[in-house]
Amino acid sequence: MREDFLPFSPPFIGEEEISAVVDSLQSLWITTGPKTQRFEEEFAAYVGAPGALALSSCTAALHIALVSAGIGPGDEVITTPMTFTATVAVIEHVGATPVLVDIEPDTLNINPSLVAAAITGKTKALIAVHYGGHPCDLDYLQSICHEHHILLIEDAAHSLPAKYKGRMIGSGNNPAAFSFYATKNLTTAEGGMLTGDPQMIEKAAVYSLHGMNRDAWKRNSQAGSWRYDIVTPGFKYNMTDIQAAMGLEQIKKMVRILQRRQEIARIYQQLLSPLEAFDLPVEREDCQSAWHLFPIRIRPGVLKISRDEFIEQMRERNIGTSVHFIPVHTFTYYREKYSFVDNDFPVAFNESERLVSLPLHPRLSQNDIEDVVAAISDILDHFKC
């Protein structure tokens, strides 16, 4: 057993990011300014997006996408129960009703064949979550949205840099929301990005900073003017130059980060497949996963212990793991408000009960990976049926 604890997903930060942050702190401008603007431009160029807006979180990006589309009370928004609560919470924030649709058993993404049946006259948008970094079936979902005149929003929190049929996630005109949280493939500690049509981005930018028609950099730089107008009641969702400084350095490393994540995923697949105790994550031929997660699913009848006990056994062997996700419909608020029961979405519920996310980050060494697999093998030796 390894002597030190292996964290599940620490940030991949080096001296470049530290120096960039120090440079911002020592400058005359630390909030939203020139570095944030440059980060938006470089991010848009990287994913091939027509426009990009740097924000305080992916949650902010999803929220502003709904607000900018005019979605509110009386409207319905379709999404998946297999996601972090923020995806559904933003629908509640605008006063709309979340309509949940079950997932595919292999990718754990929203099941496209069930989406059309969930559309009503009140449906205004679909939020598709690219679970674990594996793209949803975008062609199918886009055709459904086009046919029914509803907006497709992509929750791309896990999917930088993922590709669907050779196209980067976030390269379309529809809104796509990215996360730069501490555990994400690209991190700014906290933060997010909204990509999409430039007119939508321009509208979202106003909402993101109190509804002002001029941001602080435009008002307070030498060429700026102090005067501004409020054109709508907005929010405080802007990114700072301190965060953007990190993002600019992280973007330079994305090719290396993806390559290492792909390598780790391949090694896990090679080492875990012979154990025949788990269903392993898939990568469809027309997709490139960002490999944000490596979620394994314990096969029924393999172990004498529960999934939660398996996680505890991994912790006792100094291996950090996690679970992605607890289905949204099982949380108290949604269960009580919408009268959900576990089997309303049986695939999401049943798959979530056997999920364990293994450590996956560029800091993992070959020895670390072998320690993870050795811990799993030891648990199988002790608790296999």
Question: What's the token pair of residue 322?
Answer: 């996690």
Q: Which of 35, 124, 184, 203 is catalytic?
A: 184
Greatest alpha-carbon span in the chain: 72
Cis amide prior to 50 (ω within 30 degrees) = no
Pairing assessment for the beta strands 294-298 and 355-358 based on DSSP bridges: antiparallel
Q: How many CA atoms lie within 13 A of 104 on its CB side?
A: 20
184 as an active site residue: the answer is: yes
CA distance 307 to 299: 10
CA distance 203 to 264: 40
In angstroms, how far is CA 243 from the centroid of its own chain? 18
Q: How many CA atoms lie within 13 A of 79 on its CB side?
A: 31
Classify residue 68 by its DSSP letter. Answer: H
Where on the phi/psi map is residue 289: left (φ > 0), alpha (ψ -120 to 50), or beta? Answer: beta
The residues facing 125 across adjacent strands are 77, 151
| 3-class secondary structure per residue, 289-349 | CCCCCEEEEECCCCECCCHHHHHHHHHHCCECCECCCCCHHHCHHHHHHHCCCHHHCHHHH
- 3-state SS assignment for residue 156: coil
Q: How many C-beta neighbours within 10 Å does residue 374 have? A: 16
The residue written with tokens 């599940």 in the block is 8
DSSP string, 71-100: --TT-EEEE-SSS-HHHHHHHHHTT-EEEE
Residue numbers annotated as active site = 184
